[in-house]
Chains A and B, each alone.
Chain A
Amino acid sequence: MNGQFADHKGWTGRSRERVEDDALLRGAGAFIDDIAVTSATLHAVFVRSPHPHADIQSIDASRALAAPGVAAVITGADMRRFTRPFVVGVKQPMEHWALAVDRVRFAGEPVAIVCASDPYLAEDAAGLVDVDYAPLPAVVDPLRAMAADAPVLHPAVGGNLVSDRHFSYGDPQGAFARAARIVEIDIRYPRNAVTPIECLGVIADYSAAEGVYDVMTPFQGPYAIHPVMALALQVPANKLRIRTPRDSGGSFGTKHAVFTYAVALAVAARICGRPVKWIEDRLENLSAATSATNRVTKLRAALDGDGRILALDYDQIDDCGAYLRAPEPATLYRMHGNLTGAYRIEHLAVRNRIVLTNKTPSGLVRGFGGPQVYFALERLVAKIAREMVKPHLEIIGKNLVPADAFPWRTASGGLLDSGNYQAALAMLEDRGVFADFEARRAQARAQGKHYGIGLAAIVEPSISNMGYITTVLSAGEREKAGPKGGAVATATVGIDPLGGVNVHVASVPQGQGHRTVLQQVVGDVLGINPDGVSVTAELDTARDAWSIASGNYSSRFAGAVAGAAKLAAETLRGKIAVLAGLQLGCEASQVRFADDRVYCVGDPQKHAPFRRIAAASHWAQGAMPQGVEPALRETAFFSPDVLTPPNALDEINSSAAHGFVFDICGVEIDRGTGRLRIDRYVSVHDAGRLLNPTLADGQVRGSFANAVGAALMEQFSYAPDGSFQSGTFADYLVPSVAEVPALEILHLQTPSPFTPLGAKGIAEGNCMSTPVCIANGVADALDIEAVELPLTPARVLGLLAVQEPARPQGESVAPSPPAIFKTDRALKGSGASFVAMKPQELWPLLLDPDFLATVIPGCKSLERTGANAYRGQMVMGAGVIKELFDVDVQLHDLDEPRSLRLAGGARGALGASSGEALIRLREEKHGTWIEYSYGVDLTGKVAAVGGRMLDGAARLLTGEFFKRLARRAMPQDGDSQEQKRGWLQRLFGGRA
C-alpha cells in the first residue's frame, strides 16, 4: 500500500472534465437574470443621451411619472444628493457621476433611470422622459482632441489632455545618439472590445434600517473598485455589500464596467424604498458599457549595426473616452514594466499621454494594454528587419532575453520571472514549422499569389501589481498618497462535519472553469479525489475573505488564486496531520495524504479514511490534548513578494509572472475581393506550469478568436460628429466559428519561481500577439509598411493599390455639383436636380410652408414660426421603419433667386439630427438646376443600429422630395433617376 500511495502522480496538470459544464449545458446556470427577486422589485430602464456632447438644459419627467407602473424617475440631481463623483486616477478636476450631471459627454451616457413595475412599462416610460439638450461640438480623434481649438469635455480641466508623463530608464538619449540606425513606426490602434454573451446586470437594495446598500451583480473586480463605489455612495465599505451570482456569461474584463450602474441603482433602490433590477441590453452594452482604448503610438528604436535594439522611445497617446473611469488609466500602465517586450533592451524612454474624447469610457478588456503596445513593438521589429533586409526571425532571435538571464530585470523595473524563449523557437525549428511556412510562401508566390508570413514574440504579463496604476503619478504625489503595491489573493479551505472539503476563492469566474482547477489543486494537497472537493467562487463582500486585488482579471487565477488555495490547503493539512498523528499513533511529520486516506509513512498499516480524520475537529475537539488546534477552516492570503510599489525612479514591476508567446502565421490575400485567409497559424506558449492543459488550451483558443476579430473585423465606429455606429452585432462584427481558422498550440512549461504552483497566466497572450502577427503577415504579403486594423476586405483592397477602371464617359446629363459647401459633419453630399421652372418662379415656392408641406415626404405639418423659420412634424424612415420627428428649420443668407442656406434639426424617439444645406439655383433654357450640398449629424439609436441602411434611406427621402417637387413644377414627371439626390436631409443624411 505504501508503494501505491507513493506512486500517486497528482491531479494538477491533468485535463479533467469541467465541474461547471453539467449545469450550464442543461440550462441550469445561475446568472444575474436567473436570480429570484421579490414581487416588490422594480425594473429599471436607462434614459440615455442621443448626443455625444451636449449640455442638459432640463429634464422633465412628468409624462414618464404619469405612465402606468412607474414608481420613480432618477436623475443626476439625485446623484448629487446621495453620491459624490467617482474618484479619478489622476489629479484633475473632472467629475464623473453615475448619471450625467449638467452635461453628457458620449452618445449613450446614462441620463435618467425609470423604475417601473415591469421592464416593458419602464421602457415605455423611458421614451416619455423629456430631456432638453443643447448640443455641443464633439471630438472623437485623440490627436484632434489635443488641439487648442478642440471642444473641451471637462471645462475645469481646461483641455482634454489629462495626463502627460515622461519616463527615462537607462540612457536612451545616449543610445539614440550612438545608434547605427534608427527605425520608427507610427501606429493607430482602433477601438474594440471582447463582447460577452451576457450583458451587465444589477439587483440593488437598500436597508434604511441599517444604512446598508446590498447589490447583486456579476462585478468581476478588481475589487479595488469596491472602495470607489463606497466612496461614491458616501458609506463605509462595510455598508456596501456586493454579491455576485454563481455564473457569469463571459466578461473578458468588460463587466468591471457595471460598477457605475451599481451605484446608480443603489441610489435608485434607496429612493424607491424597494429593490431595483436592471438587465442591460445589447445596444446599451455595445454603445455605452466599455471599450479598450484606442491608441496613437510613435515608437522609435535605436539599433546597432547588427540589428540589436539598444533603446526604445515610446510616445503613446491613449484615448480613454469621455471619463477617466476606474481602473483607468490602467490600460496605459499595465504593460509599463514590460514595455521592452521579450527583448533585452537596456534603455527606454516613454512619454505617456491620456486624452479624453466624446466616446464611451474605456476600461478592462482582455489583453488590457497588450494589444496596443505589441502592435507597435512587433510591427517595429518587423520593420527593422525589412529596412535592414534581414529575416524577421533573425532580428527577433538576436534581441530575445537570453535563457540564462532570468529573472531578468527590465529597463522600466519589470522582473521577467522565468522563461526560455530560445527553446520555444527551437521547438518550432525542430518540428520543421519555419521551413513549412517558407515553403508555403514560396509556392503561393510562385503562383502569383499575395502570401506573407507574420511573426510576433511577446511576454504575457499576469497577476497585476495593484500599485502599477500609481506610476501615472509623480514620485512626489505617490509619496503623499502612500505606497501602493501587491496583489493579495485569498482562498479559504474548510472541512465540514462529515469530513468533506469546501473551498472558497474570491476569483469571480466568468466561465473559465476555476472550480474545476481548484478541485484538482486542493485534492492533490489533501490526497483526496477532486470530486470530493466542493468549490464556490462567487463573492460576498460582507461574508467572504477578499481584498482589493480580488476578482477576475490580469490572468491571475492560475498563478495567484490557485496558489493561495494551495497554501490554505497546506495549512489545513498541517493541522489535520497533527490530529491524524494522534489518532494513528505517529508523528505529524510522518503523516501522508493520498487516495482519500491518511496514513503513516513509516507504517502503512496505520491509516484511516481522510473524512473521518478530517471531521474530528467538529466532533472531538474537546477530546484533543491541550494546544492542538482545530483543523476546521483556513484562509490564506497570498501576494507575490516581487510586487513592490513603484520606486522613486518610476521603476515598477507591473506583473508578478510573465509568460512567453511566439506566433507564426501565413496569410494569403485574395486580389479579387481583398479577403484575407489565414493559411496556417501556430502559437507557442510558455505559461509556466499548466494546471489543466485542456482549460489552458481553451483560454488560448478563446483569446485567439477574440484577436482574429480584432485583426479582421471588430471595431467600434464613431462618425466624426461623435455619433456611435456599432450598436448591433450586424454592425460590430464578431467572428463566428466559420471565420476563426484552426490554431495549432504548442506548450513549454518553465515554472514561475514567484507563484506557489509555478503557474502563470495564459488567457490574454493571443489577444496581444495575434493582431500584430496577422498584420505582420499582411505587411509581408504586400511588402508595405502602413497596416491599420481591422483588416476588412475593403481596407485590404485599398492596400493592394489596385488601379480602378475609370468612370465611363458621356452619360451624365446633370452638371457635376460644385463644392459650394464645406462641412466635417458625419454625413454629407452634394448633387443637382433639374426643375422645369424659372428661378424666379421656384424661389417663392421654396419659402412657402404650404407648398413645401406638399412636396416634403411624410410632412404632417409645417408652419412658419418667424422670419425664415419653420417648425413642423414629419414622418421619416424607410419601409416599415417610420417615426414621427419634430423638425425645426431656419433659412439664412437669402439671395433671391440665386441661393440660400438652411440649418435645422429633427428630434424623435429614434434619435436626433442636425444639419445644414446650401442651395443654389441656376437658370437653364427650360428651367432651373438646383445645386445643393448638405451635411448632417445623426445621433441616437438610428445612428447606432441603422448604419447599413442610412445611405439608402437618405436617397429614398431626398429622391422622393425631388420627384414631388418636379411633379408639382411640371405635370409630367421629368426627373431622371440620376438626378434624385437630396438637399433637405432631415433625419437621414446621405453621401451622394
Chain B
Amino acid sequence: MKPPVFDYLRCESAAQALEALHQYGDDLRILAGGQSLIAMLNMRLVRPAVLADIMRVKELAGLETISRHAKRHLRIGAAVTQSRVLECISLASDVPLLAKALPFTGHVQTRNRGTVCGSLAHADPSSELPLVACVLDGQITLARTSGRRQVGARDFFTGLLETDRKSNELIESVEFPCASSGETFAFREAAMRHGDFAIIAIAVKATTEKIVIGVGGGASRPEVRSWPRLAGSALADALNQLAWELPLQDDALADARYRRHLVRELGQAAIGEACA
C-alpha cells in the first residue's frame, strides 16, 4: 500500500488548476479532501502522473447563497469541506435535504477533510451527496481553460464512478436549489455501520403536487423517479415496481432481495415523513 510515483502540484489559483488539467488531462487527478483518492492511490487502483491539490485555492472555497433565475441556491465551491457545509447555521432551512443527508456521509473525521464536490466527482453509487444532488436537481459547474458549463446532476452521473466531466474540466462548484415553501424532505439510509456506504439510501422531496424519490446504493448511479403524491396501495405498488426495475446488486454483505426490501421499506418511511 504505497502509491506509485506522482508529481504533486499545489495550486494557488483555479486558473493554475485548469491549466494543469488542460496540459495533463486524464493523467492528472484533482486532490481535494482525498478521502477516496488517497486510499485508491495507496492501493494503486489509480496511477495519475500528477496530483493537483486545490484545497488552498481561495476562489474555490466559496460557500454562499446566490440567486439564479429568481431562485436562491446554495453554491458550494470545490474546496469546501463537508463539515463546513454541515456547520452552516442556515443549512437546515436553506437545503434541508442536505442537512439530513450529510450526517450519514462518513464520520466527523472524514467530513473534516472530504469535500462536497470531491464526493460528486468520485461518483460512488453508494454515497449520499450524488443522490441528494440528483433529487434536488442540483447544478454542477464545470470549468476548463476556455470556459465553463453547467450540467444538471441527473445528467452528470453517467454510471459507476463515471461522470460527464471531461478530462480537462474541473468541478468548480455545485449549486443546490434552496427549499421553497411547501416543499418537504426526508432522508433514510441503511448501512452496516454508521458512516458506512449505504446499502440503500432514499432521498425524498415532496411538493403539493408530486414526490421526487431517489435511490442510492443499489445501482451504478442514483436513480430518481417523479411521482404524483401517491399513497396507500398505489404507493406500495410504485415502490415495489421501483424495487424490481432497479438493477440492484448482490455483494457479500447484502443481496439484491434485501436491497429491494429496503427500497420498499425505507421508501415508505421516507415518503411518509416527507408527506406527513
C-beta contact mask, B189-208 vs A, less than 8 Å → 1, else 0?
Answer: 01011111101000000000
- Whether a CB of chain B sits under 8 angstroms from the CB of A927 is no
> Would you give the shortest CB distance from B81 to chain A, in whole angstroms?
21
13 contacts between A and B (CB under 8 A): A45-B2, A120-B4, A672-B265, A675-B190, A728-B39, A730-B196, A738-B195, A808-B244, A878-B161, A879-B163, A881-B46, A950-B251, A952-B219
A739-B193, A808-B241, A878-B160 given as contacts; is B220 within 8 A of A955 (CB)? Answer: yes
Cα A793 to Cα B123 with chains together (Å): 26
C-beta contact mask, B202-242 vs A, less than 8 Å → 1, else 0?
Answer: 00000000000000000110000000000000001100110
Instruction: Determine if B1 and A281 form an interchain contact, defined as CB atoms under 8 angstroms apart.
Output: yes
Cα A97 to Cα B251 with chains together (Å): 34
Cα A728 to Cα B44 with chains together (Å): 14
From A909, which residue of chain B is reached at the shortest CB distance? B44
Residues in B whose Cβ lies below 8 Å from that of A949: 160-161
Instruction: Determine if B194 and A738 form an interchain contact, defined as CB atoms under 8 angstroms apart.
Output: yes
Cα A804 to Cα B240 with chains together (Å): 9
Instruction: Determine if A673 and B190 form an interchain contact, defined as CB atoms under 8 angstroms apart.
Output: yes
> In the complex, which residues 222-276 of chain B have their Cβ closer than 8 Å to any Cβ of chain A?
236-237, 240-241, 244-245, 247, 249-255, 257-258, 260-262, 264-266, 269
Instruction: Pick the residue among A123, A811, A910 that contacts B45 (CB under 8 A).
Output: A910
Cα A466 to Cα B253 with chains together (Å): 39
C-beta contact mask, A786-824 vs B, less than 8 Å → 1, else 0?
Answer: 000000111001100010110110010000000000000
Q: Mark A residues whose CB is within 8 Å of B.
A: 45, 119-120, 123-124, 127, 281-283, 672-675, 713, 715, 717, 725-726, 728, 730-731, 733, 735-736, 738-739, 792-794, 797-798, 802, 804-805, 807-808, 811, 878-881, 909-910, 941, 945, 947-953, 955-956, 959, 991
Residues in B whose Cβ lies below 8 Å from that of A715: 252
Residues in B whose Cβ lies below 8 Å from that of A123: 2, 4, 44
Beyond contacts A672-B266, A793-B190, A952-B219: 4 other A-B pairs, Cβ-Cβ < 8 A, are A127-B44, A726-B252, A804-B260, A955-B247
Residues in A whose Cβ lies below 8 Å from that of B125: 952
Instruction: Determine if A119 and B2 form an interchain contact, defined as CB atoms under 8 angstroms apart.
Output: yes
Instruction: Determine if B160 and A952 form an interchain contact, defined as CB atoms under 8 angstroms apart.
Output: yes
Instruction: Determine if A878 and B193 form an interchain contact, defined as CB atoms under 8 angstroms apart.
Output: no
Residues in B whose Cβ lies below 8 Å from that of A959: 159
Residues in B whose Cβ lies below 8 Å from that of A805: 236, 240, 264
Instruction: Determine if B43 and A672 form an interchain contact, defined as CB atoms under 8 angstroms apart.
Output: no
> Would you give the shortest CB distance from B29 to chain A, in whole angstroms?
7
- Whether a CB of chain A sits under 8 angstroms from the CB of B70 is no
Residues in A whose Cβ lies below 8 Å from that of B2: 45, 119-120, 123
Instruction: Determine if A952 and B220 form an interchain contact, defined as CB atoms under 8 angstroms apart.
Output: yes
From B163, which residue of chain A is reached at the shortest CB distance? A879
Residues in B whose Cβ lies below 8 Å from that of A713: 192-193, 253
- Whether a CB of chain A sits under 8 angstroms from the CB of B162 is yes
- Whether a CB of chain A sits under 8 angstroms from the CB of B141 is no
Residues in B whose Cβ lies below 8 Å from that of A673: 190, 262, 265-266
Residues in A whose Cβ lies below 8 Å from that of B251: 947-948, 950-951
Residues in A whose Cβ lies below 8 Å from that of B5: 120, 124
> Would you give the shortest CB distance from A885 to chain B, in whole angstroms?
14
From B37, which residue of chain A is reached at the shortest CB distance? A880
Instruction: Pick the residue among A802, A878, A948 that contacts B126 (CB under 8 A).
Output: A948
Residues in B whose Cβ lies below 8 Å from that of A127: 44
> Would you give the shortest CB distance from B53 to chain A, in whole angstroms?
17
Cα A673 to Cα B244 with chains together (Å): 18
> Would you give the shortest CB distance from A717 to chain B, in whole angstroms?
4
Cα A941 to Cα B3 with chains together (Å): 15
Instruction: Pick the residue among B39, B160, B258, B261 that contacts A956 (CB under 8 A).
Output: B160
Q: Which 6 A-B pairs have the closest CB atoms?
A: A879-B161, A951-B249, A794-B258, A281-B1, A952-B160, A952-B220
> Would you give the shortest CB distance from B175 to chain A, in whole angstroms?
23
Cα A719 to Cα B160 with chains together (Å): 22
> In the complex, which residues 120-154 of chain B have their Cβ closer than 8 Å to any Cβ of chain A?
122-123, 125-126
Residues in B whose Cβ lies below 8 Å from that of A952: 125, 159-160, 219-220, 249
Residues in A whose Cβ lies below 8 Å from that of B38: none
Instruction: Determine if A956 and B247 form an interchain contact, defined as CB atoms under 8 angstroms apart.
Output: no
> Would you give the shortest CB distance from B232 to chain A, in whole angstroms?
14
> Would you give the shortest CB distance from A806 to chain B, in whole angstroms?
8
Residues in A whose Cβ lies below 8 Å from that of B266: 672-673
Cα A910 to Cα B194 with chains together (Å): 30
Instruction: Pick the residue among B194, B236, B253, B262 that contacts A736 (CB under 8 A).
Output: B194
Output the residue of A717, A947, A956 with the most chain B CB within 10 A. Answer: A956
> Would you give the shortest CB distance from A599 to chain B, in whole angstroms?
55
C-beta contact mask, B37-66 vs A, less than 8 Å → 1, else 0?
Answer: 001100111100000000000000000000
Instruction: Determine if B1 and A794 form an interchain contact, defined as CB atoms under 8 angstroms apart.
Output: no
Cα A735 to Cα B195 with chains together (Å): 11
Instruction: Determine if A953 and B160 form an interchain contact, defined as CB atoms under 8 angstroms apart.
Output: yes
Instruction: Pick the residue among B163, B195, B245, B260 that contacts A811 (CB under 8 A).
Output: B245
Instruction: Pick the residue among B3, B46, B192, B237 that contacts A808 (CB under 8 A).
Output: B237
> Would you give the shortest CB distance from A733 to chain B, in whole angstroms?
5
Residues in A whose Cβ lies below 8 Å from that of B193: 713, 733, 735-736, 738-739
Cα A525 to Cα B202 with chains together (Å): 64
Cα A722 to Cα B3 with chains together (Å): 27
Output the residue of B45, B46, B260 with the most chain A CB within 10 A. Answer: B45
Instruction: Determine if B269 and A879 form an interchain contact, defined as CB atoms under 8 angstroms apart.
Output: no
From A981, which residue of chain B is reached at the shortest CB distance? B247
> In the complex, which residues 3-51 of chain B have their Cβ closer than 8 Å to any Cβ of chain A?
3-5, 29, 39-40, 43-46
Residues in B whose Cβ lies below 8 Å from that of A798: 258
Residues in B whose Cβ lies below 8 Å from that of A793: 190, 192, 199, 254, 258
Residues in A whose Cβ lies below 8 Å from that of B219: 952
From B248, which residue of chain A is reached at the shortest CB distance? A951
Residues in A whose Cβ lies below 8 Å from that of B1: 281-283
Instruction: Determine if A808 and B240 form an interchain contact, defined as CB atoms under 8 angstroms apart.
Output: yes
From B190, which residue of chain A is reached at the shortest CB distance? A673
> Would you give the shortest CB distance from B249 to chain A, in whole angstroms?
4
Instruction: Pick the residue among A124, A283, A725, A951 that contacts B4 (CB under 8 A).
Output: A124
A811-B245, A945-B45, A956-B159 given as contacts; is B250 within 8 A of A951 (CB)? Answer: yes
> Would you give the shortest CB distance from A959 to chain B, in whole angstroms?
8
C-beta contact mask, B97-138 vs A, less than 8 Å → 1, else 0?
Answer: 000000000000000000000000011011000000000000
A283-B43, A713-B192 given as contacts; is B269 within 8 A of A672 (CB)? Answer: yes
C-beta contact mask, B157-183 vs A, less than 8 Å → 1, else 0?
Answer: 001111100000000000000000000
Instruction: Determine if A797 and B160 form an interchain contact, defined as CB atoms under 8 angstroms apart.
Output: no
From A882, which residue of chain B is reached at the shortest CB distance? B46
From A715, which residue of chain B is reached at the shortest CB distance? B252
Cα A127 to Cα B264 with chains together (Å): 46
Cα A731 to Cα B39 with chains together (Å): 14
Instruction: Determine if B194 and A794 form an interchain contact, defined as CB atoms under 8 angstroms apart.
Output: no
> Would you give the shortest CB distance from B128 to chain A, in whole angstroms?
15
Instruction: Determine if A956 and B252 form an interchain contact, defined as CB atoms under 8 angstroms apart.
Output: no
From B36, which residue of chain A is reached at the shortest CB distance? A880
> Would you give the shortest CB distance from A265 to chain B, in whole angstroms?
18
Cα A918 to Cα B195 with chains together (Å): 41
From A713, which residue of chain B is reached at the shortest CB distance? B192
Cα A229 to Cα B69 with chains together (Å): 75
Residues in B whose Cβ lies below 8 Å from that of A910: 45
